[in-house]
Amino acid sequence: MARQFKTDIYAINVVDWNRRLFDSLIPLPDGTSYNAYIVEGSEKIALIDTADPDLAHIFFDKLKGFDKIDYVISHHSEQDHSGLIPEVLKMFPDAKLILSPKAKDIVLTHLDVEEDRIVVVEDGEELSLGNKTLKFVHFPWVHWPETMLTYLKEDKILFSCDFLGSHLATTDLYVTDECQVYESAKRYYAEIMMPFRNIIKKNLPKLDEFEIEIVAPSHGPMYDKPSFIIDAYKEWMSDETKNSVVIPYISMHGSVERMVDHLIKSLEDRGVKSHKFDLSVTDIGKLAIELVDATTIVIGTPTVIAEPHPMVSYAAKLANILKPKAKYASVLASYAWGGKPIEKVAEMIPNLKVELISPLLVKGKPNAEELKAIEDMAEQIAAKHKELGIL
């Protein structure tokens, strides 16, 4: 059944313990949850979001006991939040679907919803439920263009949908393990929100007018200490980076591995922290987490039929999509008989606004002169970090 957490306010927490991949792309090492909420006013009742259709039986079992729904609030049109809206509207034929202007077309083309059931709300518009008032906040690109948030004025709750959430399977209503949730939320930010960092930063001041006592996201536990997650987002979205070098790489016959290890040792000698990711075994989400704060990215690749290794190409394109705030980049590459892996990698990352530190291309295994060139690369990286005041 739904769990009451404040007077006449309920959480419908649908836990997906076994899901390990989201959108056929994003690793879910800790599963996830789909959170919907019921706000019961003295005159009207609102359902905020739904759940993934794959777990419809759990959602509707927890919805039992509510014989009337007047409004269904859709923050985000993606199926894990809105996929059950058609069934809910069939169950409650008098209910209206509340959404943002940009959501209307998406819902009509993605879901089986009749247009006359839809009510479009503007930014800042309010909806009275009697003794409770919902205020809608347009908050685009967290992480689709139509997304919005809802603030419950009397109870000071921000229903944030994907924004500020975490992919974490738990029955906890609130955060109980801050370390665990911090990593899950940072992974969520890195994989989903980071490409829209600048837009989110621009919209974040919209929340300043609200006194927020609870943040209720649609994934993961609620925050009864809202500053914990809001301050974390401010840090992740800032332009400041840390004394960190992220090194995603593949090594087929040991040459790139030797170069990467020599770079890590050379950076360590100069006080620079490295994060090494063998792409043949790496959880790509862990890589994304470290990209959030990294100042420098060094990509290591062998050459495969004149191209970078396919797994390196995937990682480079992923970094290009995620748009981390790194300041510098370089490439360590090896080849046997030909190719232009460095140029190819550079072509894959046009969205990274980075300064290129002199890359290195080695034929076969690195010799003493080439190992010295790697030490010079480490020296350049350390000098750049010092210029930023992070070393």
Digit-coded pLDDT (tens) for 178-233 = 999 999 999 999 999 999 999 999 999 999 999 999 999 999 999 999 999 999 99
Residue 52 has pLDDT above 90, yes or no: yes
pLDDT, mean of residues 91-115: 96
365 neighbors 333 (Cβ within 8 angstroms): no
Q: What is the structure's pLDDT at 152? A: 98
**Model confidence pLDDT, tens digit, residues 153-172:** 999 999 999 999 999 999 99
Q: What is the structure's pLDDT at 338? A: 86
What's the CATH number for 3-237? 3.60.15.10
Counting residues of the chain whose pLDDT is more than 90, the rounded percentage is 97
Residue 339 has pLDDT above 90, yes or no: no
Q: Work out the pLDDT band at 322, boundaries 50, 70, 90.
A: very high
Residue type, position 249, single letter: Y
Return phi, psi of residue 189, to 5°. -60, -45
90/74 Cα distance (integer angstroms): 16
Those residues whose C-beta lies under 8 Å from the C-beta of residue 352, and which sit 6 or more positions away, are: 297, 319, 320, 323, 324, 326, 329
The full set of domain ranges for the chain reads 3-237, 242-385
Residue 21 has pLDDT above 90, yes or no: no
Residue 18 has pLDDT above 90, yes or no: yes
Q: How many residues are listed for the chain in this entry?
A: 391
pLDDT, mean of residues 81-91: 97
Q: What is the structure's pLDDT at 156? A: 98
pLDDT, mean of residues 121-138: 98
Summary mean pLDDT of the chain = 97
Task: Answer positive or negative: Cα dihedral of 330, 324, 252, 260.
Answer: positive
The topology (CATH level 3) of 242-385 is Rossmann fold (3.40.50)
181/321 Cα distance (integer angstroms): 24
Residue 344 has pLDDT above 90, yes or no: yes
